Structure 1
Amino acid sequence: MRTSEADLERMSLSRLLAVAGHVVAMHWQRLMGGYGLTPHGLAVLASLERGSALTQRELARHCGIAPSTLNHTVDHLERSGWIERRREVADRRLVRLALTETGRRQLRQAQGAADSQMEPMLDHLPPGDERIVRDFLLATVLRFQSMDDALPDPAPSRPAL
């Protein structure tokens, strides 16, 4: 069911931001699904493209993805041949994740689709307002991330008895 424009107008800014984020995320999910990716998978590939191989823990923190979700994502990306696990020579217990050349090509294709299909959806934003919206969204993301960083890691959940 769609939310009416009048209902959207009455929402608090925080709720409206959450709704907008959800609607955009659903479009991202559909688009990335056509490339065998989830938004989390895209975030992982993009993170690995930017730097050196990362451990799964480092990657989870870097992408803002729960470790349990990242496990499934990493398994899928590895099965697809887009990332690989590499054991550290100095400490064989340590495994790092790295982008493969196939993964790099997949990432470029998905990013090209996002540029050609998602960016035009924002053509209703006047060019002079883009910097204001970008600054607001950036500050909001950083503020919420800093709040998350200040929280202790949740204790592992126990099965209900």
Structure 2
Amino acid sequence: MRTSEADLERMSLSRLLAVAGHLVAMHWQRLMGGYGLTPHGLAVLASLERGSALTQRELARRCGVAPSTLNHTVDHLERSGWIERRRDVADRRLVRLALTETGRRQLRQAQDAAGREMEPMLDHLPPADERIVRDFLLATVERFQSEDDALAGPAGAGTERL
């Protein structure tokens, strides 16, 4: 059931942001599914592209999820040949995850598709307003992450970063 425009107009800003976020997330999920990825899978590939090989704990922190949440995603990405597990040369107890060349190509295809299919969905935003919306969203993400960090306490600080 669609929400009427009048209902949307009456919603609080926080609820409207949640509704918009949910709708955008559903579109991302459908689009990434066509590439054998979930939004978490895309985040893993993108995180590994930006840095050196990471442990699953480091990767989870960058993706904003608990390490156990990534188990299924990491297994799927490894079976697909998009990432690989490597023993750390300095500390053999650590296993690091790294992007493969195939994973790099898969990431590029998914990012290209996002550029073609997701970015045009925002064409209703006047270019002059983009900086305002971006600043608002960045500040909102930071505020909610800070709140999560404060609730988690020192042991959990920083574990829910995007």
Q: TM-score, normalised by structure 2?
A: 0.92
- Matches of 2:68 and 2:3 in 1, distance apart? 32
Matched ranges for 1:2-151 at <5 A: 2-151=2-151
Task: Give me the CA root mean square deviation.
Answer: 1.5
Instruction: Spell out, residue by residue over 1:12-52, the C-alpha distance to the aligned partner (whole angstroms, 9 max, x if none).
Output: 00010011000000000000000000000000000000011
**After alignment, is 140-149 or 22-31 more displaced?**
140-149
Instruction: Spell out, residue by residue over 1:40-70, the C-alpha distance to the aligned partner (whole angstroms, 9 max, x if none).
Output: 0000000000011111001101110222221
- Matches of 1:65 and 1:20 in 2, distance apart? 21
- Matches of 1:2 and 1:57 in 2, distance apart? 39
- Matches of 1:53 and 1:146 in 2, distance apart? 27
RCO comparison, higher one (Cα < 8 Å, 6+)? 2
For 2:63, the aligned partner's letter is C
For 1:12, the aligned partner's letter is S
For 2:145, the aligned partner's letter is Q
Instruction: Spell out, residue by residue over 1:92-142, the C-alpha distance to the aligned partner (whole angstroms, 9 max, x if none).
Output: 110111100000000000000000000000000011000100000011111
Matched residue count: 155
Structure 1 stretches of at least 4 aligned residues deviating more than 6 Å after TM superposition: none
Gaps of 5+ in 2: 157-162
For 2:29, the aligned partner's letter is Q
For 1:63, the aligned partner's letter is C
Fraction of identical pairs, as percent: 90
**After alignment, is 59-68 or 99-108 more displaced?**
59-68
Q: TM-score, normalised by structure 1?
A: 0.92
Partner of 1:151, secondary structure, is helix
- Matches of 1:55 and 1:3 in 2, distance apart? 43
